[in-house]
Structure 1
């Protein structure tokens, strides 16, 4: 009997011990961890859910290209994009800048053609930013189009990359765009351009059509404000239709503000609008970047193809060029124009039927 009482006592002590352990565990282990909401999980990159890559998702390894797409020149911009996309194995991200009325057409042109595979973001440019800075005094109204001034405002666009390539819409790229992107900018330079005094192969044609290649052709040296700049009128100019830009350096030097200041100066004193070469977008760039830009490989900007409907480059020279630019009045989607075959091979018909090619004898 004594042995039985002893066993019962031991069992009772064990039961009490177990109950105490259970109570301790329940009281002191803390509340269960709540599940993270989706917004909370994004705060921790390692725990953030992976989301599908969308067309507007910029990547760190992309080659970013900024190009404007005006409604009346949409086919030109799409030909430029097609030539870039077709001639590189790099991942290219296109920032396509347009006005509100052309956003729908831009998207349709891409999504309903072979370009539907490109990575892109459509950006709307607000022309009100130009109010009070430009006056309609050019002999070529097309040069006053708001999108001509997008290049002034690169840091204000919704762009996540720190270095970009800017291209006009009358350009065809025959080389690999990543080679242009990797142009090494000199310290303190916010951009790289091609100087107008570069290729000996272009000099004969440039002289034959009277194309301007110096500051004298763009600035009115009769004005004291221009002479006060101290820029030699015979200094080589450059064409801002193709350039590589360092956005950080651009911001640091307040390039946009400088350009706007010269636009305002021109409103007051007409220092370049009546100059021989015409236009209102190139002269401010020439002033602000004088002696402060890196020179790119001249084969990356073979220009003046749109300056004359008759003067032609040797075909062998053009075949070796990395980039062709039909700057001037005579665009490759109109007629007359030279070297149409080099442009038209990249043209994609407008799926909406709005943009049509103009060709000889009324043929479209």
Structure 2
């Protein structure tokens, strides 16, 4: 009976792939949460676990135990503008994504998907925010011709602002790295797409890049039917001074795992410090229960440039119910996002995938066979 259910699940996913294929075929060749106790693919790879245990205190160790296949070089059209590898080149589309041992498999798949589906993949520059810059070698092995830079994110920069959360996973410092993009990236980078590590892009990312933000600093798909009040405590809403934050705004929930950010405006108006101010208030008064999302809502909700929902089909990770699976929201698909507790690589490795996980699998470059050989 179990094998029938699994076959049925994958058959459903195959049908879904046909349904969304127009966005996958637009061009020739188509809230991540980190935890120190993350039950990700490391759990299913003894070789990687051995590396992690042996090198926990050795920051100079190369990530030799991780192994990924080398992605092909994508050149989807012949007339793309030729670029240099200098970060300030004006033709670059800038994408920022975090990089750490626990989510590296997802990050590599996200990069792979963006390259494969871009009209001009050679025009994309990736900015990796990492606690361990030794992962740069791993990225280069998977993408030898990739335009990218790895930035060291110092946990101490944000640790003093982080308060306890309903889940320990939400307290991990790298969840807050997106707050510091304007400070970490070169001043010539005035716009960036921020992507979580648990998603794949199935459309040309240049369409998202060219989205107009108007006068706004941040653009993202908004979800105005969500109960916005639940993101803050009664202590927040019962305090007139705090609740008045949204008095002249029409705030809507938005997922910070996919955002287009105007870094020029961000720097000009000092939004990093504004977010830190709310985090300081949180430590004193406990005005929300979640981690890095509420400060973003406090600063930007009601002032977000709306982006089509096709660019964040989120929630595919399901909820905290073991084995739960989610369907796609109605409408077209340009980006699939496994936000939530379940990650596709975990479920695939444990032979308990959700039907939609088969849409993530083609972008997975993880190569456990080479680890077994060693």
- Unpaired runs of 5+ residues, structure 1, are 1-52, 199-212, 274-278, 355-364
TM-score of the superposition, structure 1-length normalised? 0.70
**For 1:117, what is the secondary structure of its paired residue?**
coil
Report how far residue 139 of structure 1 moved: 3.4
- Counterparts of 1:18-57 in structure 2, within 5 Å, are 57=87
Residue range with higher mean Cα deviation, 250-259 or 260-269: 250-259
**For 1:93, what is the secondary structure of its paired residue?**
strand
**For 1:66, what is the secondary structure of its paired residue?**
strand
Aligned length: 276
Report how far residue 107 of structure 1 moved: 2.1
> Does residue 291 of structure 2 align to residue 280 of structure 1?
yes
CA distance in 2, matches of 1:261, 1:299: 33
> Does residue 340 of structure 2 align to residue 348 of structure 1?
no
Match of 2:209 in 1: 181
Q: Which has the higher contact order (CA 8 A, sep 6+)?
A: 2
Change (3 A) 1:352 1:68: farther
Among 250, 257, 262, the residue aligned to 2:278: 262
Change (3 A) 1:117 1:286: same
Among 209, 220, 223, the residue aligned to 1:193: 220
Report how far residue 70 of structure 1 moved: 1.6
> How large is the Cα RMSD of the aligned pairs?
2.6
Contact 1:310–1:337 (CA under 8 A) maintained in structure 2: no
Contact 2:314–2:337 (CA under 8 A) maintained in structure 1: yes
Change (3 A) 1:353 1:215: farther
Q: Deviations over 1:90-124 (max 9, x none)?
A: 21000011003xx22x22322222x2221100111
Q: Deviations over 1:321-357 (max 9, x none)?
A: 0001111111112125531111111011158978xxx
Q: Deviations over 1:256-291 (max 9, x none)?
A: 111000000000001002xxxxx3100000010021
CA distance in 2, matches of 1:231, 1:175: 38
Change (3 A) 1:118 1:352: farther
- Unpaired runs of 5+ residues, structure 2, are 1-82
CA distance in 1, matches of 2:369, 2:305: 41
The runs of 4+ residues in structure 1 deviating greater than 6 Å are: 351-354
CA distance in 2, matches of 1:56, 1:142: 36
Match of 1:218 in 2: 231
Q: Deviations over 1:176-220 (max 9, x none)?
A: 000000000122x1110111248xxxxxxxxxxxxxx23222111
Match of 1:73 in 2: 103
> Does residue 167 of structure 2 align to residue 140 of structure 1?
yes
Whichever of the two has the greater Rg, that structure is 1
> Does residue 154 of structure 2 align to residue 126 of structure 1?
yes
Among 313, 324, 340, the residue aligned to 2:336: 324
CA distance in 2, matches of 1:80, 1:280: 23
Contact 1:97–1:123 (CA under 8 A) maintained in structure 2: yes
Match of 1:165 in 2: 193
CA distance in 2, matches of 1:146, 1:353: 32
